[in-house]
Structure 1
Amino acid sequence: MMNTLHSNTMIPWTFLANLDTSASAEVIIPKFTAPKIPEIQTKKSFAQALKATCDISISQLPQPCIKGDAIAIKIPEEEYQAGLQRCKTHLYGRLILSKGDTPIKFNELRAKLQGLWTMIGTWSMISLSHGFYDFSFSSVEDMMTVCAVGSWSLKPGFLRLSLWTPDFNPNLQKMSHSQCWVRILGLPLEY
């Protein structure tokens, strides 16, 4: 076995460099950098996302006041007006199903509407309650294009749309109108 290393021998492991006792051997230890391992982006759970929220100081929040039995806050007029402007591109919709129809899930409804509303830009929807939805459109023109149809047949059921109104509460809405088709046999054309 050889105890001496040849000159210009490369030893990648530093713990082996001390094996050579001869002064004539030259040990080259290469600089080694580990390859970068790409970071894997994992989806955060809802709890993890909540942990990452930032704290807001109480001084930045509006000061509450008591009005009767309720606690209220004052919203500055300019912020209220800005909120009204944003709502000008919103519609309310009510999903109406026949008795015995299988309820449509949120994602199924969105997929059906994406197929029907291909002529407009981006839009989003929020489920309110009692079959009501809030639709937000990227422009007033897109909102009016969808609203002009009035009711959209979804098979099963249909979506009845109405313009946004302030203080809308789905819990207080009453069904006062319904779309139907009537055929009267033998009715003269002038009627």
Structure 2
Amino acid sequence: MDLSEFEIPPAPSKENHIVDDVGEKSQVEVSQVAGGEQVLDKGEATVVEVHAPKSYAAALKPKYGRNIDTFSLPIPGKQGEFPTISLIKEEVDNGIKHCSQSLVGRLDMSKIDLERIKILVQQLWRPVGKIQSTPLGRGHVMFHFDKAEDFPKIWDQGPWIFDKQVLRLVKWTPNFSTEKEIQSHAAVWVRFSGLSLEYWEIRNLLALGRALGRPIHVDETTAKRELGYYASVYVDLDLSKPVPDKIWVE
């Protein structure tokens, strides 16, 4: 982890005052910090820490990890000039169990924001439980399902159209990295020529698309049989594999 991204907070402001303490003069340092008021005796000098009052909302905000004894955590080591730490296996297993019920997709976030994605998730997927949408960077969003029955339903029915963008989903895997994720898929219109019009039923056309990749939908002109030159099906293709120029229809 690059520690350069963390900001060092400015030193608290201090004012020196002279006060009477049992007939003698002593130095008092007053500093503004967060919390309450505390007086510390440091020999001849008395340090008074005056804490700014907390708001009601700040007082109610949860403080995750405050109840954990930090001395029970793994002891850091060092490799060269960098510190090392061994993660707790039980906690890693808990994290993997949580993330295993997740799918990851990628969108152009300059054309759609997270709030819009959350709305479309509810409208298009109609989940039984809650879905948490977490941005991962580089346009990737992780969708976590708290109900097991939602996961296969969304996975089997994809890809999805989110505001004219194709959302392709992949199953989350441990050590998922947006830096290493390679996008080899593309949604393209596939034209099927030489197909007699009696075979232009929607399910049959989608079946043709499935022979090449994941079918998304059928062109309106094709669905209405307005032009009989070829049938157009929108298909999500894996371009890392050869795309055949012919298929056999039985």
- The structure whose residues are more often helix, as a share, is 1
Alpha-carbon distance, 1:60 to partner: 3.9
The answer to whether 1:86 aligns with 2:98 is yes
Q: Is the 8 A contact 1:93 1:133 kept in 2?
A: yes
1:43-89 Cα distance to aligned partner (Å, 9 max, x none): 84xxx479974586541433222235543321232222222222221
Q: Which has the larger radius of gyration?
A: 1
The answer to whether 1:71 aligns with 2:92 is no
Flag structure 2 segments of 5+ consecutive residues without an equivalent.
Answer: 1-54, 197-247
Determine helix, strand or coil for the equivalent of 2:185: coil
The answer to whether 1:135 aligns with 2:147 is no
Alpha-carbon distance, 1:105 to partner: 0.7
Determine helix, strand or coil for the equivalent of 1:113: helix
Determine helix, strand or coil for the equivalent of 2:191: coil
Residues 143 and 67 of structure 1, relative CA distance in 2, 3 Å threshold: farther
Q: How far apart are the structure 2 equivalents of 1:174 and 1:49?
A: 44
User: TM-score under structure 2 normalisation?
Assistant: 0.49
Pick 1 or 2: higher relative contact order, CA cutoff 8 A, min separation 6.
Answer: 1
Q: How far apart are the structure 2 equivalents of 1:123 and 1:82?
A: 19
Q: CA RMSD in A?
A: 2.9
Residues 121 and 57 of structure 1, relative CA distance in 2, 3 Å threshold: closer
Q: Is the 8 A contact 1:64 1:73 kept in 2?
A: yes
Q: Is the 8 A contact 2:140 2:178 kept in 1?
A: yes
Q: Is the 8 A contact 2:105 2:170 kept in 1?
A: yes
Determine helix, strand or coil for the equivalent of 1:134: strand
Q: Is the 8 A contact 2:128 2:147 kept in 1?
A: no
Q: Is the 8 A contact 1:96 1:159 kept in 2?
A: no
Q: Is the 8 A contact 2:166 2:187 kept in 1?
A: no
- The structure whose residues are more often strand, as a share, is 2
Letter in 1 for 2:194: L
The answer to whether 1:112 aligns with 2:120 is yes
Letter in 1 for 2:118: R
Q: Is the 8 A contact 1:88 1:140 kept in 2?
A: no
Letter in 2 for 1:122: K
Tell me the residue number matched to 1:158.
Answer: 166
Letter in 1 for 2:120: K
Give the total of aligned pairs: 142
Residues 66 and 173 of structure 1, relative CA distance in 2, 3 Å threshold: same
Equivalent residue runs for 1:54-69 within 5 Å: 54=66, 58-68=70-80
Letter in 1 for 2:186: S
Determine helix, strand or coil for the equivalent of 2:116: helix
Determine helix, strand or coil for the equivalent of 1:172: coil
Residues 61 and 116 of structure 1, relative CA distance in 2, 3 Å threshold: same
> What percentage of aligned pairs have identical amino acids?
30
Letter in 1 for 2:78: I
The answer to whether 1:175 aligns with 2:175 is no
